[in-house]
Structure 1
Amino acid sequence: MNTTSWISRQVTRLLPVARQERLPSGQAGAVAMRTGGGPARAETTQTERSTRERLAASLRHKTEAMSPRMLRLTLEELRATIDPQISEVEGGRRAQVLIQRYTRATVERRRDMWLLMSEMFTADPEKVKSAQAKFAAAVGTPDEAAAEVQYRRATVSPRRRLLQRFSVLPEGIRFLVDLRAEMQPHLKQDKRLEALDVEMEYMFSTWFDVGFLELRRISWDSPASLVEKLIKYEAVHDIRSWDDVKNRLDSDRRCYGFFHPRLPDEPLIFVEVALIDHMAESITPLLDEKAAAADLDKATWAIFYSISNTQNGLRGVSFGDSLIKRVVETLSSEFPRLKHFSTLSPIPGLRKWLGQNAQRLLALTPEKEQAELGRAAGFEPPTAAHLLRTLDHVATLDARSPLRRWLLQCAAQYLGRELVDGKPVDPVARFHLGNGARVERLNWMGDPSAKGLQQSYGLMVNYLYDLKRLDRNRSQLAEGKVAVAGAIDELQFRVQ
């Protein structure tokens, strides 16, 4: 028996099966993360020993999942997987063993493996320092290019080779995406995991480049397993029934997703589109299961009303802008009558933001309008608390209520003026405006559902994709100015 086989056998004996339902390889962690179930993570405390301290120790503390001996054996196995002396076939076999063992391990022991991968597979600091010095000395000389290459090679960590070793296995990509998804909730509490997370994001950005992705239409005739995933992953407007999903895949609708060849039955992101003759102002008719299909011969507008990412493990990897561009091209080819492309989008951060900024916005409101707000709220002079309390009953406001206009003003301010680090505060606005869209129109009671009222007092917004102005709008945003339609600009508060 060789050393590697002996280590594998010993670690297998030491690692217990997790107390959870067995799932296919690589999926247990992701399912637990998505459903909120699964074993709880061992809490990081101030007395927690570092990974290196544990590797050098003899005894395990009660809060530690792996004993020092187990930790050393696992580290040896990880290193053996990328041993330069072994063949690719043998390296793949060793990686396969680790995947199987990881799948059976508890979340706490998986965390130990994350820490090993994050902390013990770093680039050699001395080699990096030396290469950096040589590169700095070579700048401006004929040796600059060669020195740069050496510096780049020195900064590549063995961790990257380890991830590549896993990725070549048939189930390797799925395993790594699920591993990173399971790791996400732990990042804020344990900064030691950041190196592994950032390395994985970098690798995924390469492996999931849009050039490798396939755009596919998802229809009612698609396999049932694929349609079920729409129900599972829909993140904007929950799908309530099979009749609901059938309505979203009707003749006047289109649904497209990006697929990766290594995950052929798993949409990475998908968009739902309604083809109609106007810019939609409410989500209710679009989700009406009993409504007749629109006449495609009269459709001039394509309304993107839901975009959902499906893989938390691919957080930070951008697909959305490319998806929308590809879908616009596909729709334009299929339906030459289509001339306008717009979203009907939620404003998920509005209510929380207004709760934090209502007093500031009230101060920006002219005195005459403040008096009108006070009379409408039943308290003069009004305070932010009184206005917010009245807005809790926003659905009952009269069309001429000054509170209604004030809320629209606040929403216009939120979408068109509120930036952090040069980017819109609202996550949906950040996505569409970053793609070159324009804030076109606010829609009162666009989403009267409980979720819509909770997020944005029922308001929805149209972002217009004017294909001739996308680059200009993006450049404008880079300069700190959001592209908005005239009606939105008129609603925004003026500095007095």
Structure 2
Amino acid sequence: MTRTGYLGDLLSQLAERRFVPLRAVSDKPLREMCAALIAGEGEVSTMRLAGDILASYARLDETGKRAFFALLAEEYDITPEAVTQAALRYGEDRDANTLRWLLEAAEPKRQSLLRRLNHAPGATGELVRMRRDLLRLLPEMPELARVDLDFAHLFQSWFNRGFLVLKQVTWESPARLLEKIIEYEAVHAIGDWEALRARVDPKDRRCFAFLHPAMPDEPLIFVEVALTKGIPNSVQNLLAPDRTCLDAAQTDTATFYSISNCQVGLKGISFGNSLIKQVVALLQQEFPHLRNFVTLSPIPGLVAWMRELAEQGDSAAQSCLEADHSADKAAAQSLRAFGARYLLEAKDNKGRPRDPVARFHLHNGALVHEIHAQADTSARGLRQSCGAMVNYLYDLEQVEANHESYAAQHKIASTRSMRQLARVKPD
């Protein structure tokens, strides 16, 4: 996949732009350096100070990081009285000047500080990692939530879809990027380089990632795709080392079997919907004969939900949890029925599907197509879903309508067979 246009040029220019302090780490207090950064005007001094601050932050221990974020929360917040006065003035005289004063008063100084920090080479990735630290501290320091609002607000703009580059990851991709694919794979672990090669090199396999020009070696999210004949029902078969590689002409289905969000510091910034839509478009262009676009997805909350049912006296759920689904066809069918009920009926406290993977795909416009027992026999698969997995189908003619129904009413699109299966009461 070639890179063209402005973003491609920018990506090339920034390929070696990583965070390196411009000089030895300053021994000045962070409080003093942050104040100087806000007050400064020169581009060179801003870049230098930003680099010094980020380098000093990187050396902080946990106590120091808590103090730094507390500084941002208390000393770089808005001044409520100024906001009130500016709002009153705008209410009396709605012109550009009073609106500008209101907007300036309502924007925390933290946002200006973060923007200036981003002037340092490689700063964007450092700020993403800084937010990762912030998110980790939030449970014990809830007062930092307003600091996180500013990070999230800026990242929504900085990581806008228009700034992202979709790149096919191949065996010829830079080693740094390939290492990150191994590191960040969140669904089906990649054990070594040969296992990675089996996922990105064969002619019936594809991997695509979103990159940001300021973080060229750090995938934001990536999806692994298998070109298959028919809709698959086992991830072990899909990833078997001795499987037969298919010629593209033999395939009729693109199966998205792993989607991994890579950056904890970008939590809440959605990339998945855009990624899947763009990958589908690329696959259609390369393989116009493909008829199905499906996933083979985990059901991570199924066992926990069934245990709750068992604790409430549901003997069928308890029996299903204890059964050998590989040897007992009735138990396997019971597991499928529980899986259908879980995906179609179990809700969280916001009225949404309880399962996080289901929420992701249903929001993107997919429908619940089929559930398989013995689909993931890994230790993780057995632990979280007794080995069950689900196909979500992206029916390209219905994706938009499904998305609208889900977004407006949390209506779950599914096949008739899944709705019937959900009504089955396991013995």
For Structure 1 versus Structure 2, the TM-score category normalised by the shorter chain is 0.7 to 0.9
1:490 to 399, 420, 423: 420
1:480 to 385, 395, 410: 410
**Alpha-carbon offset, residue 223 of structure 1:** 2.2
**Alpha-carbon offset, residue 390 of structure 1:** 5.1
2:366 to 407, 414, 437: 437
> For the residues of structure 2 that align with 1:488 and 1:163, how far apart are their CA atoms?
48
Q: Does the C-alpha gap of structure 1 residues 406 and 174 become closer, same or farther in structure 2, counting only changes over 3 Å?
A: same
Q: Which residue type is aligned with residue 453 of structure 1?
A: L
Paired position in structure 1 for 2:11? none
**Alpha-carbon offset, residue 393 of structure 1:** 3.5
Paired position in structure 2 for 1:37? none
Q: TM-score, normalised by structure 1?
A: 0.76
> For the residues of structure 1 that align with 2:234 and 2:184, how far apart are their CA atoms?
22
**Alpha-carbon offset, residue 115 of structure 1:** 1.3
Question: How many residues end up aligned between the 2 structures?
Answer: 400
1:309 to 244, 248, 261: 261
Q: Contact (CA 8 Å) 2:325, 2:332: kept in 1 or not?
A: no
Paired position in structure 1 for 2:111? 160
Q: Contact (CA 8 Å) 1:122, 1:157: kept in 2 or not?
A: yes
**Alpha-carbon offset, residue 197 of structure 1:** 1.4
Unaligned segments of structure 2, at least 5 residues: 1-18, 22-26
Bigger CA drift: 318-327 or 106-115?
A: 106-115
Pairs within 5 Å for 1:277-426: 277-358=229-310, 383-384=313-314, 387-388=317-318, 391-399=321-329, 401=330, 403-420=331-348, 421-426=350-355
Is 1:470 matched with 2:421? no
Pairs within 5 Å for 1:139-288: 143=94, 147-249=98-200, 250-288=202-240
Paired position in structure 1 for 2:38? 82
> For the residues of structure 2 that align with 1:97 and 1:194, how far apart are their CA atoms?
25
Pairs within 5 Å for 1:54-65: none
What is the SS of the residue equivalent to 1:419? coil
Q: Contact (CA 8 Å) 2:370, 2:391: kept in 1 or not?
A: yes
Paired position in structure 2 for 1:110? 65
Q: TM-score, normalised by structure 2?
A: 0.88
Unaligned segments of structure 1, at least 5 residues: 1-23, 27-69, 361-382
**Alpha-carbon offset, residue 97 of structure 1:** 1.4
Q: Identity, % of aligned pairs?
A: 38
Is 1:99 matched with 2:54? yes
What is the SS of the residue equivalent to 1:105? coil
Q: Which residue type is aligned with residue 337 of structure 2?
A: Q
> For the residues of structure 1 that align with 2:96 and 2:361, how far apart are their CA atoms?
39
Q: Which residue type is aligned with residue 256 of structure 1?
A: F
Q: Which residue type is aligned with residue 247 of structure 2?
A: D
Q: Which residue type is aligned with residue 413 of structure 2?
A: A
Q: Contact (CA 8 Å) 2:78, 2:108: kept in 1 or not?
A: yes
Q: Deviations over 1:110-162 (max 9, x none)?
A: 22111111221011211111223344556xxxx37765554333211110010
Q: Contact (CA 8 Å) 2:371, 2:389: kept in 1 or not?
A: yes
Paired position in structure 2 for 1:53? none
State the superposition RMSD in angstroms: 2.3
Q: Deviations over 1:451-480 (max 9, x none)?
A: 101010100000000111112111221213
Q: Contact (CA 8 Å) 1:119, 1:195: kept in 2 or not?
A: no
Is 1:127 matched with 2:78? no
> For the residues of structure 1 that align with 2:152 and 2:142, how far apart are their CA atoms?
16
More contact order relative to length (CA 8 Å, sep ≥ 6): 2
Q: Which residue type is aligned with residue 410 of structure 1?
A: F
Q: Does the C-alpha gap of structure 1 residues 386 and 354 become closer, same or farther in structure 2, counting only changes over 3 Å?
A: closer
> For the residues of structure 2 that align with 1:145 and 1:302, how far apart are their CA atoms?
52
**Alpha-carbon offset, residue 285 of structure 1:** 1.4
> For the residues of structure 2 that align with 1:295 and 1:73, how far apart are their CA atoms?
62
Compare CA radii of gyration and give the structure with the larger one.
1
**Alpha-carbon offset, residue 284 of structure 1:** 1.1
> For the residues of structure 1 that align with 2:142 and 2:304, how far apart are their CA atoms?
28
What is the SS of the residue equivalent to 2:104? helix
Q: Contact (CA 8 Å) 2:51, 2:121: kept in 1 or not?
A: no
Q: Which residue type is aligned with residue 97 of structure 1?
A: D
Q: Contact (CA 8 Å) 2:233, 2:372: kept in 1 or not?
A: yes
Paired position in structure 2 for 1:371? none
Q: Contact (CA 8 Å) 2:234, 2:374: kept in 1 or not?
A: yes
> For the residues of structure 2 that align with 1:207 and 1:178, how far apart are their CA atoms?
15
**Alpha-carbon offset, residue 263 of structure 1:** 0.8
Q: Does the C-alpha gap of structure 1 residues 458 and 161 become closer, same or farther in structure 2, counting only changes over 3 Å?
A: same
